[in-house]
Amino acid sequence: DSGVTQTPKHLITATGQRVTLRCSPRSGDLSVYWYQQSLDQGLQFLIQYYNGEERAKGNILERFSAQQFPDLHSELNLSSLELGDSALYFCASSGGVAGGQGTDTQYFGPGTRLTVL
Partner 1 sequence: AQSVTQLGSHVSVSEGALVLLRCNYSSSVPPYLFWYVQYPNQGLQLLLKYTSAATLVKGINGFEAEFKKSETSFHLTKPSAHMSDAAEYFCAVTLNTGGFKTIFGAGTRLFVKA
Q: Does 43 bind partner 1 (CB under 8 A)?
A: yes
Contact with partner 1 (CB under 8 A) among 29, 100, 114, 116: 100
Half-sphere exposure of 30 (CA within 13 A, CB side): 14
Minimal distance, residue 16 CB to partner 1, in Å: 28
How far apart CA 112 and CA 102 sit, in angstroms, is: 26
Minimal distance, residue 62 CB to partner 1, in Å: 18
Look up residue 72 and give its DSSP letter.
Answer: S
Q: Does 64 bind partner 1 (CB under 8 A)?
A: no
How far apart CA 21 and CA 90 sit, in angstroms, is: 10
Contact with partner 1 (CB under 8 A) among 16, 54, 69, 97: 54
